[in-house]
Amino acid sequence: MINVLLIVHLLLAVVLLGGITHQAISVVWPSRKKIGIVRSYRAVTGSVYTNANIVLYLATATLGGIIYPTYRVGVRTFLENARLMAATGSFELKEQFIAVGLGMLPLYWLLWRRPPEAGGKTARIAVTLILCAIVWYSFLVGHILTNIRGLFGL
């Protein structure tokens, strides 16, 4: 059962990763022309992604919290016994970043709810990039730790 939850957690994280990255690129490097694949990727309305990103962030974090006791008992104990402190520490940092991201979600929603002409464009860019960095870091650390777990047959 935990493997199914882990796979669903991974799939939610991949969708969130795509959505927040697409939004971040569209706000940092906007394009008004939809000619070519790179320009059309950048020429989207970023505000369309806001509610979906918030729901995906909350769902991914909640599912991660459900899976966490299994990690804590099984995988983390192994990592500490194997003296893989960098892996353990990176997951601890991931937890802190996710908590910061949860606290930023109301501001993220508020900044994307207003039109860009109303001010706060710099804040919108900064909050979106911070959340994007948190999601990327969390995804990579989770993926690497899952690979370490699989490599040692846990």
Q: Give the mean pLDDT per block of 10 residues along the chain (154 residues).
A: 89 95 85 62 69 96 91 81 87 94 95 78 92 96 81 57
Domain positions in the chain are 2-151
Residue 125 vs residues 70, 78, 102: alpha-carbon distances, Å: 36, 40, 17
Please say whether the beta carbons of 61 and 102 come within 8 A.
Answer: yes
* pLDDT at res. 37: 59
The CA distance from 8 to 124, in Å, is 30
pTM, to two decimals: 0.85
* pLDDT at res. 34: 65
Please say whether the beta carbons of 144 and 87 come within 8 A.
Answer: yes
